[in-house]
Amino acid sequence: MDPVRPYSPPPADHAPPLYIDAALVVLVKPAGLLSAPGRGPDKEDCLLSRGQHRFGELFLVHRLDMDTSGLLILARSREAHSRLSAQFRERRIDKTYEAMVAGRVAADWGEIELPLSCDWPRRPRQQVDFLRGRPSTTRFRVLNRDPAQGRTRLELTPITGRSHQLRVHCLALGHPIIGDPLYGNAGERLLLHARRIAFAHPLSARPLAFEDAPPF
């Protein structure tokens, strides 16, 4: 979270979950809301606490940046949490994001392989670091180009899951995500949305896939 900005989460949304059963719930996190509680009592309001208020005990399986919107899986038991977490560790969960970036991306598709590390003097910023960075890979595909607005809509598929990976890789590509307060120009919101997620049900192993259209 950007330490300069005060935390001002959006109002609670009581829309039904995208999916719910005895093992898990899939929710859509709005931009501006933390996935999990932050430091201090003023940052206790988050998707996890809101979900627990509505659905009882929940366990966070993965996170989205505060400024990113989109799909999040929450487990409803420790067993489901353990099995879903294993799928993330073993990279068996497919995630697809959609972003609006500045400028015209020339290539129709491509892959960004740049190692990332924390930029400690400016944390929580991350940076490309060829000396100590962890291997990081993102695939991208152009969905459309808007020459009038000077921007491009991208589909982004993270192969690894580093902190701020998509945001730093787009910046390194020369096309920062629009509305990014850390790596570009702050706007009304960061135009980055976790659009699709596919995984195996933690108890039955049944394939599951969910999509949510970006609100931009």
Catalytic residues: 65
Which residues 6+ apart lie within 8 Å of 178 measured at CB? 100, 101, 102, 151, 184, 185, 187, 190, 191
Structure tokens at 184: 């570009």
Which residues 6+ apart lie within 8 Å of 11 measured at CB? none
Give the DSSP letter string of 44-97. --BHHHHHHHHHSS-EE-----TT-EEEEEEESSHHHHHHHHHHHHTT--EEEE
